[in-house]
Amino acid sequence: MSAETDHDSKYRDDPRSTDELIELALTKDADRNNDKYWQPIVTLQYRLPQIIDRIQNLRSSDDKGRDTAATILGQGRVRTKYAAERCAEILLQMLAEEQSVSVLVSTIFALGHLHDSRAVGPLVELSTHADARVRYAVVSSLCGYADCRSIEVMIYRSSDQDRDVRNWATFGLGTQIDTDTPAIREALFARLEEKDDEIRGEAIVGLARRGDARVAAALLTELNTLDVDVLREWSLIIEAADEVVTHAKNSGAKEWQPVLTKLLALGIGPQDEIQSAITRCM
């Protein structure tokens, strides 16, 4: 039996009744790292085809009920979504009416799991919300949308005062879309000054993917500053290095040569490919 089938059967074969699972879901604290919270929730997500009307009715209960309904309808742990359009419609209605920040966040994440384009407009409107938790949910759920509204939100939120919002927006711009515009590049370039390693790394990757030679200096600084063992374990740097090699071989731009030479000296990346890129840039 495959790991994927094992995952499915763990929830589909749960012997507990729907009543028992709903009661558990409504009484467990929303500890997102606790399996005791997720086990009944995910089992109910798998049962959604049989219980969608009942889950929809939880909307009329208290905050916990609405939070639970949103999380189940979003089907975040289910690979093949059931009635995704209908679930998105319900969630959009909930979004328009919700006052609780915690439930609003759950509803936004649920819409993000369904990836329904009708949610883009309402999510854009919430991108300026005063609570950072809401802004974080928005940028997370808009990841992967390449329309101008979503991109504008990501650009603006990539300089958000909240670290997590800023990080996810930079990630969304850098690697979750292929769109390449001057505005996107400038937003990523601004993040090269970040003290936070992850955000700075996401910006480096995003610029390297777009072949922006201005990133060469920032990447070279990382290569000159950090221990080689740290660099070899830093997936973002490895990813950026691969992009640099590709663009250097294609363009022959001399700006890439110092980075390539340093990668070769450190033994990071495919050495033959790096040497070929260095030759191309001479």
Supply 255's token pair: 């700006």
Instruction: Name 147's Cβ contacts closer than 8 Å, sequence gap at least 6.
Output: 117, 120
The mean pLDDT value for 95-114 works out to: 96
| Average of per-residue pLDDT values in the chain | 94
The mean pLDDT value for 80-97 works out to: 96
Quickly list DSSP for 147-204.
SHHHHHHHHHHTT-SSHHHHHHHHHHHHHS-----HHHHHHHHHGGG-SSHHHHHHHH
- % of the chain residues with pLDDT over 90: 87
pLDDT of res. 61: 80
Q: Which of 27-31, 122-126, 234-238 comes out lowest in average pLDDT?
A: 27-31
pLDDT of res. 29: 73
pLDDT 10s digits, 134-183: 999 999 999 999 999 999 999 999 999 999 999 999 999 999 999 999 99
Report how many helices (DSSP H) and strands (DSSP E) the chain contains, helices first.
18, 0
Q: What is the DSSP letter of 2?
A: -
pLDDT 10s digits, 186-232: 999 999 999 999 999 999 999 999 999 999 999 999 999 999 999 99
Report domain extents, the chain.
1-97, 211-282
The mean pLDDT value for 125-129 works out to: 98
Answer yes or no: is pLDDT of 105 > 90: yes
Answer yes or no: is pLDDT of 1 > 50: no
Between the CA of residue 258 and those of 73, 215, 253, 265, what are the distances in Å?
51, 12, 11, 11
pLDDT 10s digits, 26-58: 987 766 667 778 899 999 999 999 999 999 999
